[in-house]
Structure formats: C-alpha cells, structure tokens
Chains A and B, each alone.
Chain A
C-alpha cells in the first residue's frame, strides 16, 4: 500500500534552514505530484507547493516563493522540502502528501520547531 515516511523532528534557530525528507513506496513514484502541507500548532492546513517527481518541476504557493525549495531523488523515491530563513511562526508540523486522486497518502508529519 502507499506509504510516505518522513524524517524526524527538527529544532532550528531563527534564520536557519531546515530540510525534510519524504520517502515514498507502494506506487509509481514518478507518476504523481507530491504536495507539501504544513500545520502550525492549533491552526489549519496550509498548502506550500508541489513537485513533479518525474520532471523536477515545481509550483510553490506565493507565500513561500523565495524561501522554499522542493527537490527529489528518483533513485530512492524521495522528495525533499527545504525552508530557509526560518522564523518562529514557521513552527509547525510539515506533511508530504498525495492528498487526493488515484494515489492517496500522507506522511506521518515532521515537527519543525523554530526557537532561539
């Protein structure tokens, strides 16, 4: 079945960068976009963007353009989301997701805490 396994929790200082990984299995990795969604504590869901694992093409939410970079390594069926210039309000659980469509799955979430 579809499995998305993310890297572990991170603690970062303001101004630093974080890179979260998401390893996919159970389906054709290059056939479907991977989305990234985040959720601040007690808040709603916020879409960050997607990557096309086949071409490497990306589409970022305007809010994150210039700060987020999504990449992939097809040899290990893994996508990455890097967020730079971290602020305290970037503290959130970050999910990789295939939220709907033919292939559906969510990662377990990665808590990123930004604190001095």
Chain B
C-alpha cells in the first residue's frame, strides 16, 4: 500500500506569510494528488486537484506543485480565514484513497 507522509504536522505563521506544506508518497503516484482544507466541526473542502489545479471558487493564494513522490502545497499570503487543518490525498486506479496525516495551520 502507498503511504503519504505529510509535514510538518503543525505550523504557526503570521498573516501575510508564505506557508508551505509537503507531502511525500512512498512510491511514484504521478500527479494523482489532491489537497483539502478542514475547519473545526466541518467536512473537508477540496482546494487543489491533480497536484496543481485550483478547484472552482478557491482563492488564487492557494497553489500546488510536484510530481512522482514529492508534492508541495503553498499559501502565498496567509489570511486569518486560512486557519485550518490541511490534508493531502492520493487516489489510485481502483479509486482507493490514502490521506496524509494532516497539517494544522495557526496564526502566530
């Protein structure tokens, strides 16, 4: 089974800072990688699909990149409403899903 290792598990940054989260797959997953935002008490929300495609309605300060085994999620300018937990997620050719462990983003 493919494992998704996400880091860091938590981070604290100031409003306006650039924030970067990484996700590493245990084997080549091409570009089959999505990113979600989850706020407390809410269901996850898809932000980025297929590594780098911004979901409709998602602010452009969110972006994703990578391929193969190493992927990056970036918030170019952290806003107070971005306080949440973020997850990477891989899907394979049988539509099985694997989530990373999550990253909690807080305001410094």
B41-87 contacts to A, CB under 8 A, are: 43-44, 46, 49, 55, 87
CA distance A99 to B49 in the complex (A): 10
**In the assembled complex, which residues on chain B have CB atoms less than 8 Å from the CB atom of A97?**
43-44
A55-70 contacts to B, CB under 8 A, are: 59, 61-62
The range of chain B's interface size is 20 to 34
CA distance A37 to B97 in the complex (A): 9
Indicate if the CB atoms of B96 and A106 lie closer than 8 Å.
no
CA distance A61 to B97 in the complex (A): 9
Q: Does B5 contact A (CB under 8 A)?
A: no
Q: Does A107 contact B (CB under 8 A)?
A: yes
Interface residues of A (CB under 8 A from B): 33, 35, 37, 44-47, 50, 59, 61-62, 95, 97, 99-100, 104, 106-109
Given the interface pairs A99-B34, A106-B43, A109-B43, the reply to whether A33 lies near B102 with Cβ below 8 Å is: no
Which of B46, B89, B99, B101 is close to A104, meaning CB atoms less than 8 Å apart? Answer: B46
